[in-house]
Amino acid sequence: MRGNHVHIEEPGPSELRSPLVNREIQRASVWIGVAVAVALLWFLAQPIMLILGALVLATMMDGGTRLLGRVLPISRGWRLTIVLISAVLFLAYTFYLTGSSLAMQAQAMRSIVEAQVVRIGGWMEQLGVTTTPNDFKSLASQAFSSLGRVTAAVGTMMGAVTSGVMMLVLAIFIAVEPRLYERGVAWMLPMGRRVGFYNVVDKMGWTLRRLMFGRLIGMAVEGVGTWLLLLAGGVPMAGLLGILTGLFALLPNIGAIISGVLIVLVGFSAGVNAGLYAFAVYLVVQIVDGYLIVPMVAKRATDLAPALVLAAQILFGALFGILGLFLADPIVAMIKVYLEERSKARDDGPATSGIVRIE
């Protein structure tokens, strides 16, 4: 204070009380947070994808438990136990009956596919295309070597078995009491956001159950249909081709292409008529699954554009490998549900602070 004049000091740019400094710190924090999140996503790709895979498996177990609860009025733990034991017995029984024959068919199929690739290479050379079978092999090796961090981490047999066991155990723990983990995550959120969180989780669970149920039905239809139709037409290795087609149905779009190539190559190894018949079987099975099974079971719940799913598979496959291909459409479906529920919550206004949830 000098004389009768009062001078009020204001914070300068070097002080944290400055609005300019606070605004710049907030902007910098956003970008730093994004950079840290990307780095963590890259370095923690394997555990993140294993956790997401466990969530998808837990959703499948939960769906089977809920479905069984409609006919068996017993506790959830017993219903989950029945689902798990039934799945294990089915897999053990299937591989016990067909294990030896499938092993021999797999060895024969490798020779057939290699011979067919050589024939295709020779036919292309006659047309003037300078592509050799070695080019096909190098292309396949490049495709497999370009797979992401998760595939590199579980590339060995021991790594794959260990990762699968960890994912299965985590999925069982989550499926035993999923509400416990939902409440644990919700506890870390502000009270005003918990209602929206529960709504999003419930809708995600319903969507994933519907999606994975449709995928399991599609696997059964494609696998059994391919096996029976190829067997009726006298195409060799019908059983192995049916199992591979059912397994590749876990990977929408890309899996259908791989199984179709194998079916056609093996079919043409038995003659032109068998090859054309095998190609027709592939088309019929894919049409039934794509235009009948998927729309009835899964499309109403997810309604994902095929181009969006394929783009997500390419991206996640390049980043995270085979597991990324498997989880591409569940991740896209969960993101879609989150955006839709967030938009609804924004339109409906703020949620109430008091929460009463009926379990």
Least confident segment among 20-29, 128-137, 186-195, 212-221: 128-137
Q: What is d(CA 222, CA 191) in angstroms, rounded to the nearest whole number?
A: 47
Q: What is the pLDDT of residues 276-298, one digit of tens each?
A: 999 999 999 888 877 777 666 65
Contact (CB, 8 A) for 150 and 320: yes
Q: How far apart are CA 149 and CA 8, in angstroms?
A: 59
Distance CA 70, CA 244 (A): 32
Which is more confidently placed, 38 or 83? Answer: 83
What pTM, to 2 d.p., does this model score?
A: 0.71
Confidence band, pLDDT 50/70/90 cuts, at residue 353? very low
Percent of the chain with pLDDT over 70: 75
CA distance 31 to 94: 53
Q: Could you tell me if 48 and 168 are in contact, meaning their C-beta atoms sit under 8 angstroms apart?
A: no
Average pLDDT, the chain: 77
DSSP letter at 299 equals I
